[in-house]
Amino acid sequence: MLRKDNGKQISGFDQYYYEKAVPQNHLLRSIAKTVDFTFIRELLAEQYSSDRGRPAEEPVFLFKICLLEYLYNLSDVQVISHIQVNLAYRWFLDLNIDDELPDDTTISYFRVKRVGLEKFQEIFQRLVDQCIEHGFISAQSKRSIMDSTHIIADVAIPTWLSLVRQAYESVLLELRETNQEIFQQFEQRMLELWNELKGRTRDEKLPVVLQLASEFATAAEPLLNNDEQPNAALVTLKKVISDRDENATDRLISIVDTDARTGHKSDMRKIQGYKDHIMMDEETEIITAIKVTPANAEDGDQLVDLVTQFQDNHGFLPKELSADKGYWFGKNLRFLRENNIVGHISWMKTKQQVSGLFTPEDFQFDAEKMQVTCPNGIVSKAYRDRNKAREDRNGFEFRFTKTQCQDCPLKAKCTSSKSVRNVFISNYYEEFQQAREHYKSDEYKEARKSRWLIERRHADKVRNHGLRRTRYRGLERTYIHALLSTIASNVKRMTKLITDKRQREQSALLAIS
What is the tens place of the pLDDT at every residue in 41-75?
A: 999 988 887 777 677 789 999 999 999 999 999 99
**Residue 481 C-alpha from the chain's centroid:** 11
Residue type, 63: F
Alpha-carbon span 8 to 5, nearest angstrom: 9
Q: Enter the pTM of the model.
A: 0.91
Within 8 A by CB and 6+ apart from 281, the residues are: 136, 137, 141, 143, 144, 288, 318
Out of 97-106, 181-190, 201-210, 265-274, pick the least confident: 265-274
Mean pLDDT of 429-439: 91
Residue-level pLDDT at 227: 66
Q: For 282-314, what is each residue's pLDDT tens digit?
A: 999 999 999 999 999 999 999 999 999 999 999
Q: Is the pLDDT of residue 224 over 90?
A: no
The beta-strand segments (E) located in 116-269 are: 143-152, 261-264
User: Phi and psi (nearest 5°) for 344?
Assistant: -100, 75
Q: What is the mean pLDDT of the chain?
A: 91
Among 293, 282, 287, which residue's Cα sits nearest to residue 260? 293
Q: Can you state the angle between helices 303-314 and 330-338, rounded to 10 degrees?
A: 30
| Residue 105 backbone dihedrals phi, psi, to 5 degrees | -65, -30
pLDDT of residue 349: 73
**Cα 1 from Cα 42, distance rounded (Å):** 13
Instruction: Name residue 397's beta-bridge partners.
Output: 384, 424
Domain boundaries, the chain: 12-134, 160-243, 351-427
Sheet of strand 364-366: strand arrangement: 364-366, 371-373, 379-380
